[in-house]
Amino acid sequence: MPMLQWMPSLLARHIVKEVVMDRRTFLNTGIKTTLGAAAFMAANPRSSRAYAANDKIVFAQIGLGGRGKSVGREFARIEGVEMKYCCDVDSERAGGFPDQVEAAQGKVPKALQDFREALDDKDIDAVIVSTPDHWHALAAIWACQAGKDVYVEKPPSHNIWEGRKMVEAARKYDRVVQVGTQNRSAPYVKEAKQYIDEGNIGKLVYVKVFGMEPGRAYREPENSKKPDSVDYDMYLGPAPKRPFNRGHFHSNWHNYWAYSGGDLADDGVHQMDIARWIMGKDYPKFVSGYGSNVGLNDDRDVFDTQSVIYDYGDLMMTWELTQWATYMRKTPTEVRNSDAFPDWSLSATRVEFYGTKGRMVMGRHGGGWQAVDHTGKVVAGQYGRMADPEHRANFAECIRSRKRPNADIEEGHRSAVLAHAGNIATRMQGERLEFDSKTERFKDNDAANAFVKRNYRLGYEVPVTV
């Protein structure tokens, strides 16, 4: 009975209501207590086996929102991949996803409401985590402890502390963990990095990162009855307990700190990752920021307008966010799939690199890049394409080869730290925070450090020792 090992005892449920056994608890009380971590992996041969070229890689998709369905469907189309499970806390969310997967692979995946049943299946090689942000770390860590490789959507973590725990779990259990920052697999981004590394725009001094997307006002509905199809306690997971509210559920969770890091973490981490990769730097010395809900003045508790400064000592980087600029656009579809550049002045998700001899502007979503000299003349450039297929293929290849993927969890974590640190600085409203790169905390600032780690709900704690 695979689910029994996840269930708390009847006595425990009588003493403490709604206690859910986490993956670490199971491992500590089961095989791991008698055999140890190494023996546990050895006892689960698929967790550490070598893959032949024709071996099938068996996946479970966790989270069936729009992004989850898209990513899972495309993975199922990769030759040599089988999607065995599709999991969501809302049993009605699967929709046409099983049929789409069947069309791709000839088999219908089994729908699960509790993804831990998939983790118990020794046939599963890898999981795709496409849940709301507050579940990313715990789901990924449980998967690593179960001997599964992980593709986790961005941002990999909800806070700085748990992101580091994800790295520790990946290394301890020798897992391939790829973050869904697909620009790491984009040839045009690699070429742009090489162009700057060769000194073509001089010494890089200033980088501007933009997340100026169109949006609309959000109004929180009143609490309501939970649908019978929803395991709401499981949905909340590590987040605080609260009554059911559709405004805190499905796509609306982006509006709340309890589940999200605002648009800087939810989407802007893509641009942050591009910037950090090309800069060749990790953490700044100082961070400061300002933000407010001033453009839409609605019921969200994350920012709709934000400005952050990252001070590296010899280089400055800024982040600019708006959620209300209806005239700004992500890279249009017609640009993503053709030899064209976007209108840079209206490009909502661009990154600008300023050197002593010239500058470069780059677009996400296959927007490509162009470099100009001190006269404003375009002297170099490259069209782009969306890199999602290459990124998925890289993960599948690394499952077989056991090599580090293009967007390894360490790299994904470091880019997410920039987003989290920017949000913390903004919540401190302009205070100049000194960041300690060794401890991944702020120096002499208890108020800022209170945001480095969240308080986890009983039964859904990210373990201190993974």
Same domain, 102 and 197: no
Give the confidence band of 4 by pLDDT, cuts at 50, 70, 90: very low
Q: Is residue 446 part of a domain?
A: no
Q: Is residue 283 part of a domain?
A: yes
Contacts of 191 (CB under 8 A, 6+ apart): 369, 382
Q: Is residue 325 part of a domain?
A: yes
**34-48, 94-108, 154-168, 427-441: least confident range:** 34-48
Q: Domain with 308 in it: what CATH number?
A: 3.30.360.10
Residue 127 pLDDT: 99
Residue 309's φ and ψ, nearest 5 degrees, are -115, 125
Closest CA to 420 of 435, 431, 410, 405: 435
Judge whether residue 30 has pLDDT over 50.
no
Q: Is residue 452 part of a domain?
A: no
CA distance 38 to 173: 8
Q: Do residues 354 and 336 lie in contact, with contact meaning Cβ atoms separated by under 8 Å?
A: no
CA distance 133 to 154: 8
Same domain, 78 and 211: no
Judge whether residue 27 has pLDDT over 90.
no
Angstrom CA distances, 71 to 31, 74, 131, 196, stand at: 33, 5, 12, 32
Q: Is residue 415 part of a domain?
A: no
Residue ending a domain, among 406, 437, 457, is: 406
Question: Average pLDDT for residues 445-465, to the nearest whole number?
Answer: 98
Same domain, 278 and 365: yes
Count Cβ neighbours within 10 Å for each residue of 340-358 and write b for 16 or more, e otherwise: ebbeeeebbbbbbbbbeeb
Same domain, 248 and 364: yes
Residue 46 pLDDT: 58
Residue 53 pLDDT: 67
pLDDT digits 0-9 by tens, 250-261? 999 999 999 999
Same domain, 249 and 336: yes
Residue 272 pLDDT: 99
Mean pLDDT of the chain: 91
Q: Do residues 425 and 419 lie in contact, with contact meaning Cβ atoms separated by under 8 Å?
A: no
3-state secondary structure the chain: CHHHHHCCCHHHHHHCCCCCCCHHHHHHHCHHHHHHHHHHHHHCHHHCCCCCCCCCEEEEEECCCHHHHHHHHHHHCCCCEEEEEEECCECCCCCCHHHHHHHHHCCCCEEECCCHHHHCCCCCCEEEECCCHHHHHHHHHHHHHCCCEEEECCCCCCCHHHHHHHHHHHHHCCCCEEECCHHHHCHHHHHHHHHHHCCCCCCEEEEEEEEECCCCCCCCCCCCCCCCCECHHHHHCCCCCCCCCHHHCHHHHHHCCCCCCHHHHHCCHHHHHHHHHHHCCCCCCEEEEEEECCCCCCCCCCCCEEEEEEECCCCEEEEEEECCCCCCECCCHHHHCCCCCCCHHHECCEEEEEECCEEEEEECCCCEEEEEECCCCEEEEECCCCCHHHHHHHHHHHHHHCCCCCCEHHHHHHHHHHHHHHHHHHHCCCCCEEEECCCCEECCCHHHHCCCCCCCCCCCCCCCCC
Same domain, 19 and 107: yes
Query: How many domains does one find in the chain?
Result: 2
Same domain, 340 and 304: yes
Q: Is residue 301 part of a domain?
A: yes
Same domain, 175 and 198: no
pLDDT digits 0-9 by tens, 316-336? 999 999 999 999 999 999 999
Judge whether residue 124 has pLDDT over 80.
yes
Residue 44 pLDDT: 56
Q: Do residues 409 and 176 lie in contact, with contact meaning Cβ atoms separated by under 8 Å?
A: no
Is the pTM of the predicted complex or chain greater than 0.85?
yes
Judge whether residue 150 has pLDDT over 60.
yes
Q: Do residues 173 and 37 lie in contact, with contact meaning Cβ atoms separated by under 8 Å?
A: yes
Judge whether residue 12 has pLDDT over 50.
no
Pairing of strands 110-112, 350-355: unpaired
Question: Average pLDDT for residues 169-191, to the nearest whole number?
Answer: 99
Same domain, 172 and 238: no
Judge whether residue 20 has pLDDT over 70.
no
Same domain, 7 and 68: yes
CA distance 340 to 372: 17
Residue 14 pLDDT: 31
Same domain, 148 and 172: yes
Residue 337 pLDDT: 87
Same domain, 111 and 245: no
Angstrom CA distances, 96 to 70, 163, 229, 402, stand at: 12, 33, 16, 33
Range of the domain at 329: 187-220+233-386
Instruction: Determine the residue type at 17.
Output: K
Question: Average pLDDT for residues 224-241, to the nearest whole number?
Answer: 98
Closest CA to 359 of 414, 419, 278, 283: 278
Q: Is residue 120 part of a domain?
A: yes
Q: Is residue 123 part of a domain?
A: yes
Q: Domain with 145 in it: what CATH number?
A: 3.40.50.720
